[in-house]
Amino acid sequence: MILIADSGSTKTTWCLLDKENGEKKFIQTRGINPYYQDEETIIRTLKEEFNDNRRKFDSIFFYSAGCANPEINKTARNALVRFFETGHPEVQSDLMAAAHALCADNEGIACILGTGSNSCHYDGTRIIESVPPLGFILGDEGSGAVIGKKLLSDILKNQLPGDITQLFFDTFKTSATEILDHIYKQPFPNRYAAGFTKFISDHISHPSLYALVRNAFDEFLVRNVLQYKKARSLPVHFTGSIAFYFHKILKESLKFRNLTPGKIIKDPMPGLIDYHVRQ
């Protein structure tokens, strides 16, 4: 029995996989991100939400948005060792999860467009180049957090047509004061901002909202994907809810930049399962 975890800023999906008979059990917990959470916080989340009594696995493969360097990975690894009865969990970035799920053993450009964003050039075995995502404030172009942030900024600076602004406040019953409090004072402002992408999706036929998403995707491609020398000769794959739900606009942006669309999937877990079954 092996345990595979795909953890983003919002949620963690766990798969308990029996490689012999292919049986799978899925568990969902809050997002675990060791960049923002310490060892005790991670363990507390597992105690509260990992609703299976099994603790011993042959192998644990943990992929997280926050696992970007050895020191941060150590935080996640220590928490997993303390909670599970497995001595050497393998901890890697969510970008490696995307590469495994999207490219398998083939070369390609693997991208994440979810609450955050990221990208890499994967050679079929390892990530050989990656533009730093830089997070919610300095980067994460094309992500739900940044698209939501742009929407909030445009609403509060009167940059959108009046009908959309009115519809926004009628829908959310919020105020500028409340929005600013969430963004600047409350934890996880990226999750808060990303929550507004559902509103954009529901009203995407409005030209101003369509343009907002299209511009965000163009920015992601220019500032990230097009920095890879082989970007135009390889398929460009995507995983994440933003890529999945706005795939038509994303494909338009790819075509405009002379890039070849690859797979666009909502969740990397099915591809991760296939990858680890083959190992």
Backbone angles phi, psi at 24, to 5 degrees: -135, 145
Query: Residue 85 has what pLDDT?
Result: 79
Q: Give the Å distances, CA to CA, from 71 to 34, 38, 60, 77, 85.
A: 10, 12, 19, 10, 22
User: CATH for 2-88?
Assistant: 3.30.420.40
Task: Give the torsion sign (CA, 194, 198, 201, 203).
Answer: negative
Q: For the chain, where do the domains classified as CATH 3.30.420.40 start and end?
A: 2-88, 106-267
How many helices (DSSP H) and strands (DSSP E) are in the chain? 13, 10
Span of 82-96, 98-112, 209-223, 235-249 with lowest mean pLDDT: 82-96
Assign 113 to helix, strand or coil.
strand
Give kind and range of the element (H or E) at residue 278: helix 269-278
pLDDT of 276 > 80? The answer is: yes
Answer whether residue 10 shows pLDDT above 90.
no
- Percent of the chain whose predicted confidence (pLDDT) is above 90: 78
Q: What is the pTM of this model?
A: 0.87
Fold of 106-267: Nucleotidyltransferase; domain 5 (3.30.420)
Q: What is the pLDDT of residues 153-174, one digit of tens each?
A: 999 999 999 999 999 999 999 9
Residue 68 has pLDDT above 80, yes or no: no
The pLDDT of residue 187 is above 90: no
**Euclidean distance between CA atoms 77 and 164, whole angstroms:** 46
